[in-house]
Amino acid sequence: MTGRQFAQGQILFREGDPSDGVLRLLRGTVEVVRELDGDLILLGTVGAGQLVGEMGVVENQPRSATVRAASDVEAEFLSPTEFLDQIVGSPPAARQLIERLSQRLREADERIVKDERQSGPAHENLGDNVRLAAANPWLQRQFDTPLGLDHLPFIVGRRPVPGEGQPLWQPDLMLDDTAPFRLSRNHFTIEKREGSYHLRDLCSTLGTIVNGEPIGTHFRTDDAPLRAGGNEVVAGGVGSPFVFSVSIA
């Protein structure tokens, strides 16, 4: 492994580059961005102590996003062999990686959603416990009345445009968007597990931000707990107009 330093604004790697290693951030913050129809979309930030680029190495796929330094950055570069050797030698790290990989499998996602629908009480009234609302005037034009969620999981997604196929699951709330799309056809789901409420990104293109923390394909987890009271959810990266409020009684 070798140490690397990046000045603010410098690119660590670009979307489409070969996945030639993993960077562990020792100091500073980086931005994860994607190019969508010529526009650069900021998906979120990653700070010291976290990894970037590990999923491409594990999957042996090109980089799925661009990472640039939001400040001066110091990082540790691990080759694919060094990274995988560290995973083998650290059961907690291996477990975390396996959990994330399994979350990203659509087959696993489909099983989880179906199992939760079938295992929940058929007439459980959750409307007073969980409420979903539009958090800005733009989104309120699509739905202006807060929704009491009377069943979970509850899926939010985009209405397909002509020429697109149907999503894997039928969204409970289907919204309109125009290119470049910020909202995926299946974007996120709100669910209840072991008595706690969670929001899970459904392998969306641009990820989801929950109370300021980005989740999704490009980040360390696809899942975020929802706290009692209000929660801010942004679907589609920083600056997206799809801003929701999720209230937990």
Query: 13-22 pLDDT, tens per residue?
Result: 999 999 999 9
Shared domain for 68 and 28, answered yes or no, is yes
Residue 118 has phi, psi (to 5 degrees) of -80, -30
Sign of CA dihedral 53, 12, 50, 231: negative
Backbone φ/ψ region at 131: left (φ over 0), alpha (ψ -120 to 50), beta: beta
Whether residue 230 sits in one domain with residue 169: yes
Give the pLDDT band (50/70/90) at residue 226: very high
Tell me the sheet residues that pair with 175.
Answer: 158
Q: Tell me: do 161 and 206 sit in the same domain.
A: yes
Residue 118 lies in a domain: no
pTM confidence score: 0.81
- Predicted pLDDT at 128: 64
pLDDT of residue 236: 97
Q: DSSP for 127-172?
A: TTTEEEEE-SHHHHTT--SPEE--SSSEEEEEPPPTTPPPPSS--S
Whether the per-residue pLDDT at 76 is higher than 80: the answer is yes
* CATH code, 23: 2.60.120.10
Number of domains in the chain: 2
Structural domain boundaries, residue 128: 124-248
Q: Are residues 20 and 96 in the same domain?
A: yes
Taking only the tens place, the pLDDT of each residue in 88-107 is 887 877 777 666 666 556 54
99 and 35 part of one domain: yes
Per residue in 167-206, pLDDT tens? 888 999 999 999 899 999 999 999 998 889 999 999 899 9
Find, among 56, 143, 71, the residue nearest to 104 by Cα: 56
Residue 209, by phi and psi: left (phi above 0), alpha (psi -120 to 50) or beta? Answer: beta
Digit-coded pLDDT (tens) for 21-69:
999 999 999 999 998 877 889 999 999 989 899 888 888 899 999 999 9
- CATH of residue 213: 2.60.200.20
> pLDDT higher for 205 or 124?
205
- Using one digit for the tens of pLDDT, what is the confidence trace for 132-179? 999 999 999 999 999 999 899 999 999 999 999 988 889 999 999 998
